[in-house]
Structure 1
């Protein structure tokens, strides 16, 4: 998915680290310091060592021999303790900044590391999220999805949603299947494009992500207001269900929507 999820000054509301449950996935932005358009969004187990983080940075950019500013034996959660904090990695003259944006609870099915988005070629190697995650975690299994959601994902060429859904634990649990209410396929596709974009908690980037997903289905590109106009009843009901929840707190609603 060649789109951003966060910018450092547009972070979704987060769970305070001191209040978190045991075991968390840290969502970090790893970017090439000299080029703002070359970055990868990665979910990493908080108990990953800096030495292993060096391998992860190498795997997402397709290089080897990455070093770190922080001591190799330290845990990532001890280096990145609050959103906005960062640490640096390097390979020769290349420098990479890893910045903490958000965190999510983990369970036994959550992979140790997973790339959920990115942009920009590094050297002569174009960004391919499928290839990146094949290096990080192998084949991703997603049991428990709604058939409509799985089919939507298959049609959204160029977007690899599977690692994102696995990182967010969309497996078993409560289900919310009355949405979308629109019957026309185009309207339902607009709804799911918006839901997947909202799942990224992307703030101002949500529109860009939703528009990209919708266009990847083969439709003529539409601005986000037009996408919303295709599925107004479903979005209205979603707003009623969500109530006053913050964007990060809506993740559980989106998970329920996607479960079969």
Structure 2
């Protein structure tokens, strides 16, 4: 048996590097949390920029999440079950908005939906509207949901679907009553990632929808606008966004623990 102290000494450099990265990641968040007192935070929330931006972000991200869940779940199922080179091409296309810079995506949206864009001749003119905010959020946030849910669907046992079909279930019923319930933890995780990404979207929204207070100015855009007038307000709004993201992660983790179905072996042990 290897000496445990020897294993510890060998692991120390790697542990130190990992802890160093952890500190590096948490340091900006800690600085943000220490930058505002509770009084300054409440005062900043009363700023005229904040509540309209918060309300707009809440509305648009809720609509975005609903659109992504309704349309992204079937797409994730298709990607999980499809085979062959075309499936990989489609999967790569879905992931493309993740790696494209947000500013580039904003320009691409203008070229697609602007008055002089590909769909401009059809009377479609979305830029600088609330709908444009939702479109930008869907484009940048949907891939996170689809990736997570597709990974969950790949873990669904084919035999369970086969049993459902032999018991008379249609393909749609097998999908809704077997695959979706088994994939609920992945759906919750994907929904949390999608909502958090939509809430924090900045670049594509700024170029495609602008920053019109009460109409297209979401929370990240309000931070950008507040930086020009009052850094304390910008810091407080940024802290609110960070807290929302943190609460979202905690809620998603708690929901996944409740939704994980016990394995047959675990279920037998519990009996």
Query: What's the TM-score bracket when you normalise by the shorter of the two chains?
Result: under 0.3
> Greater share of helix residues, 1 or 2?
2
Between Structure 1 and Structure 2, whose CA radius of gyration is higher?
2
Greater relative contact order (CA < 8 Å, ≥ 6 in sequence): 2
TM-score by length of 1: 0.23
